Structure 1
């Protein structure tokens, strides 16, 4: 490994180290996300079965003790909760690497894949334009500061401001912007998108969409 690394360019070494670092970070983070819910004092199977029972009761159907046991057995098999913990962990990684994220507890009986597919377009609408705008503005401001090199008080102050903003976590900066422009100035909504609006090609829906898109 060491001799092989000696023949790599500095860029390739850096890229390889970064790839290994991010792969290890992803593995540890996903493992923590899997283990933590199983260490908490609640049972996902019982929560899901209780939710199903409430839905059936609300619709006028009574659940007998035998039906309740069958529901528990079915959900345990669906979640893989009747297997040893180590085998559940192995099966989780097998399914994950095949793109199967399993059933959603919060939105049961929908699968996690269905929840992601339903929400992903809205995330992309937020991420892609904001990334493009940030890249363009950042490059223009950086080029201007680098071209001038006058060392004036304005240049130094702007550099300090840029460095400070770059080190503020995105969620903290988002909360600050919401506090200023939504809570104090009332220029934009403080809450998220309203689900009462039906997506369609109309000026009304476009106006509602842009209103909530500006400050998510």
Structure 2
């Protein structure tokens, strides 16, 4: 792997993360009001009052570093982001932001992994069958039904699923990640409850993503059908299954891996809204609470982790693409 190619990709990765982190620092501070005063205002609304409120607010601002100039806060934020030390959360004070994120990441990671893998595999398989001249009528009948779902946003499709299967049929729960009262442990009862509660959130992401993969895969299949290697494979008398899997579908999948990296960001942002709709206790749900309470540190920590994950996924796909497609060499990618 040439150092020049690798170095350029790493530099772009670092610039993307830095730019996103800078925007992540600026935008929350553009909101009106003071987050510390807002927290104490909520306490006063509940009838909890304290003498010398101004001094208490000033003390908390000094403790959290919010009384320093913005440029000092920015430098401290960049330094803390590198070490993943985001400080205490304003909303859940004195709990650390890192602890809050660590508790929520497994739920978001599990939901996204299942939804992305299912939508990618099912969508590409249906798209390949749709572009294959010898596909069955069932596929040609099923695809037009699934295709319009790709035009529906994740959150809107989630609301539709909630109305149909949670309110009307009552086959699935309205929210949460598992049944209330269960202890988090590796048992069949707990695992079954987690899967049961994750079906609707995952289904909203899968159904909204399948159409995109089907369209792209069908287009690549139609393009590849006239290639020389396809004509040669059929001339050799290879079985239709081998021609479909090893020649047509395998080569059509290559651009789809690039598309997976490019759409990963939109899938993550859509999953954030899905978690809010389903009250799913992942990164999206806690980010929503942080935004409502103008929790600078919690917003910064969550968004930084999400941005870093998306940028890292794109970097890995970019570096592994020549390994997937042997026709591409690092030396030629300039």
Whether TM exceeds 0.5 here: the answer is yes
Inter-partner Cα distance in structure 1 for 2:172 and 2:40:
41
**Matched pairs, number:** 196
Q: Report the CA distance shift for 1:92/1:24 in structure 2 as closer, same or farther (over 3 A).
A: closer
Asked if residue 79 in structure 1 is aligned to residue 73 in structure 2, the reply is: no
Which residue of the partner structure matches residue 158 of structure 2? 174
Aligned pair partner of 1:35 in 29, 32, 52: 29
RMSD of aligned Cα (Å): 4.0
Aligned pair partner of 2:123 in 112, 122, 138: 138
Asked if residue 26 in structure 1 is aligned to residue 20 in structure 2, the reply is: yes
* TM-score for the superposition, normalised by structure 2: 0.47
Q: Any gaps of 5 or more consecutive residues in structure 2?
A: 202-334
Bigger shift: residues 26-35 or 87-96: 26-35
Q: How does 1:47-196 map to 2 (within 5 A)?
A: 47-48=38-39, 65=52, 71-148=56-133, 155=140, 158=143, 161-162=146-147, 164-193=148-177, 194-196=179-181
Q: Any gaps of 5 or more consecutive residues in structure 1?
A: 1-6
* TM-score for the superposition, normalised by structure 1: 0.68
Inter-partner Cα distance in structure 1 for 2:130 and 2:57:
64
- Greater relative contact order, per chain length (Cα 8 Å cut-off, separation 6+): 2
Inter-partner Cα distance in structure 1 for 2:15 and 2:158:
28
Alpha-carbon shift at residue 169 of structure 1 (Å):
2.2
Which residue of the partner structure matches residue 4 of structure 1? none
8 Å CA contact 1:104–1:111 kept in 2: the answer is: yes
User: Secondary structure of 1:82's partner?
Assistant: coil
What CA deviation, in whole Å up to 9, does each residue of 1:72-100 have, x standing for no partner? Answer: 45422232111123322332233223322
Inter-partner Cα distance in structure 2 for 1:139 and 1:191:
30
Asked if residue 212 in structure 1 is aligned to residue 203 in structure 2, the reply is: no
Inter-partner Cα distance in structure 2 for 1:142 and 1:20:
35
